[in-house]
Amino acid sequence: MGALRKRSLVVAGHSTSLALEPEFWNALEDAAEARSVTLVRLLADIDETRSGRSLASACRVAALKFAAEAPPKASKAG
């Protein structure tokens, strides 16, 4: 996995910084798109249900769950 990529966001009315590997950011962006919500909205939902985990940890778990549930992407055959 790549180096951490840090983003500054406002989640549920609070400014925060979140550092995740690019692969997790990509999975979360895919999850938000699949649910027709913004990335910030998805992160707010994760924040509301994280049960004592850090937000970064909860986001990684959510990204893994999404990846496991998502249908395979069509390959780009050229």
**Mean pLDDT, 10 residues at a time, over the chain (78 residues)?**
86 91 95 95 94 94 92 63
Number of other CB atoms surrounding residue 43 within 10 Å: 24
Cα distances (Å, whole numbers) of residue 70 to 16, 30, 38, 49, 53: 28, 9, 18, 20, 24
pLDDT at 45: 95
Neighbours of 20 (CB within 10 A): 21
Q: Please report the pLDDT score of residue 74 as a whole number.
A: 66
Neighbours of 32 (CB within 10 A): 18
